Amino acid sequence: MIDRRSVVRRHCIELTHPDPATVLTVGNGNFAFTPDITGMQTFGAFHDQEAARANRRLAVNTATMATWGWHSMPSEQEFTLADAMTSHLTTRGPVPYPDKFSMTAAMGGAADLRAGMWLHVNPQRLDLGRIGLLLRCRPDSAPAPSPDDLGHPRQRLDLWTGEITSEFEYAGQPVRISTVADPIRAQVAFRIESALLASGQASVAIRFPYASDGFFQTSDWSRPDAHHTVLDRVSERVCRFTRVLDHASYIMRLDWTRGRISHGDGPHEFILSSEDAALEIVAGFWPQDRPALARATYPLLLERATAWWRGFWTTGAAIDFAGSTDPRAAELERRVVLSQYLTAVNCSGAMPPQETGLITNSWQGKSHLEMHWWHAAHFAAWGRPWLLERSLTWYESILGTARATAARQGYDGARWPKQVGPDGRESPGGIAPFLIWQQPHLLYLLELLHRGRGPRHRAAALTRRFEQLAEDTARFMASFAEERDGSWHLPAPVIPAQETYEALSTEDPTFELAYWWWGLEIAQRWRERRGRKRSDRWQRIQDGLARPRIDRGHYCAIATSPYLRRTDHPSLLCALGFVPATPLVDAATMEATLLHVRDTWDWDTAWGWDFPAMAMTATRLHRPDLAVDALLADSPKNSYLPTGHCPQIGSLLPVYLPANGALLAAVSLMIAGWDEAGTELPGFPKDGSWTIHHEGFEPWP
């Protein structure tokens, strides 16, 4: 049996100097609080991503976010998706897609571009507020502007308990802060210990920003008149802040042990001061139309967090690489442990996460459904299917919207969007509306969930519950496929996962063809589990799907010119690896393709999930040497910071959680294999350099 506590705790994160690129986060999948080196959000300017990007530095914002916290900018004109539509002529006739959009379009430009731009950037995820320290060298002096004034900072995230402990000196006095998040509710708690509180040199500032519709910005501090904050003093140690930003509203409740709340500078800043040398605070957030949170205390939240994280680490799968002589083993174990923490905090909520989770915004905070598999599939493979199930429920809430999209385009079933806010309305763009590889994701995720649910009665209940989602997803897939001379094709307009091809001239992408077969096969199995016959139409499509194009012994990316470009995602490899073996893909040809891609790809243009995807392909081809090399490739997009973050484009994407989730998916395949894999640990060399203890993994299909 693995000593799980030892494995986890040898990778607890310790920071000993302030760095704008390294931040820690506490949270629960639906809520997260990201502090700086003080354990609170004290030095916001130090972590300003926009300023860092302008200076070509790496920084991560400090924010407070929840899956329910959304806002839309007011507009004099009410835009609808129809305002951003173009009808593209296909063999079926004209099909409308919302592609009238330009990233550089000013709001005063052409009407169709204004509509597309507004619909693209709205809604945006809110930064619910900042809770930080005001540190003064004297009670009447200006607050310290940067962490450079701190002495001997030391911060530790105890992964086993979910507690951040921050220690430093200021003005010759020690400061110690503990930070924990409620594992269920949108609450964060602090215990601050310092004589600076009693002397008036330290106090707590609560600040509220306006929303931002920028690409990665979470807040706008320049528009104090655009939003409202009302302070309600409930009692001597409790207050409530009612927040109104246009049509969005929410409440923050603040509880403390001893002190007083007062207005600070401006209408959205408030100061909590105390004459005690120790102060405990709990901040809770909820939408105004939902029930209020009950009073909570710091000791209670610490107890809850400790119990939840201990339960997390002691259930599901575990792996221990101790004793390995391969010099990369310790680093792989570190990435595995930190990725489990990060995905639990950011990717296990009530809706599919954004690529930067609840740490900072990307694409205005919207979910990218083609990334949902990479974010969350590993939960089932690691024996924690309930963390996957949380976000699958959201698809039920937008089923009507997905059906309307399919019907508008002349298809059956439900077409799932690519880039979305909580209501499921797709975002206009030149790429997003034409992607299709998110469509089978739901079926694959449901299949993984079904395999991981254990007792037969629980699996049967799951099948009943999600039967309609599976059916409608497959109905669209069957309707989208086009028959020509007895063969079924994935026709234009389409953009594959490798997004470097033109929608109007691209057909039959290799990965998507294999994935179409596999998705329909899953849907067939779900029909059988409910006592229904396999669909004859779906079977005809499966049997007649076009085979991927082969050129000089290896697969192309698409079946139309230019056939293969060697930049961006090498997603053609996913046709065998991510997808299990299908009749469409020949293993020997895929092995030749794998070697070709390894040797010729422009890896600087690849993304964080491409390296684990390549490892999955190598694993299914029984090439463990290539699998480990791919997973741990030395590449700018495959570099993991001390926090476990895998930045992609500097401060534009300083966090990229699909890489963390993909790493966990690949490792689980490399460890547990798949049905009838025929070998143990198929993704690791058998040369004695790897000593691997593992338990609790679920085999893959």
List pLDDT tens digits, range 544-591.
999 999 999 999 999 999 999 999 999 999 999 999 999 999 999 999
Tell me, yes or no, whether 277 lies in a domain. yes
Residues 6+ apart with CB under 8 A from 686: 624
Please state, as a whole number, how many other Cβ atoms lie within 10 Å of the Cβ of residue 633.
Answer: 17
Rounded Cα distance, 485 and 56, in Å = 54
Report the pLDDT value the prediction gives residue 460, as an integer from 0 to 100: 87
Tell me, yes or no, whether 565 lies in a domain. no
pLDDT exceeds 70 at position 50: yes
pLDDT tens per residue, range 131-161 = 999 999 999 999 999 999 999 999 999 999 9
C-beta of residue 665 within 8 angstroms of C-beta of residue 377: yes
C-beta of residue 48 within 8 angstroms of C-beta of residue 205: no
What is the helix (H) or strand (E) element at residue 470, kind and residue range? helix 456-480
Tell me, yes or no, whether 189 lies in a domain. yes
Q: Residue 139 belongs to a domain with what CATH number?
A: 2.70.98.50
Tell me, yes or no, whether 289 lies in a domain. yes
Tell me, yes or no, whether 367 lies in a domain. no
Domain residues for the domain of 194 are 15-69+124-312
Beta strands 130-135 and 202-207: pairing type? antiparallel
Please state, as a whole number, how many other Cβ atoms lie within 10 Å of the Cβ of residue 93.
Answer: 8
- Please give the tally of structural domains in the chain: 1
Tell me, yes or no, whether 398 lies in a domain. no
Tell me, yes or no, whether 690 lies in a domain. no
Mean pLDDT of all residues in 28-44: 98
Report the pLDDT value the prediction gives residue 677, as an integer from 0 to 100: 87
Report the mean per-residue pLDDT for the chain.
96
pLDDT tens per residue, range 65-122 = 999 999 999 998 899 999 999 999 888 889 999 999 876 654 455 666 889 999 999 9
Tell me, yes or no, whether 447 lies in a domain. no
Beta strands in 147-259 (DSSP E): 151-158, 163-170, 173-181, 187-193, 202-207, 228-235, 238-245, 248-256
Specify the pTM: 0.97
When pLDDT is cut at 50, 70 and 90, the band that residue 687 belongs to is very high
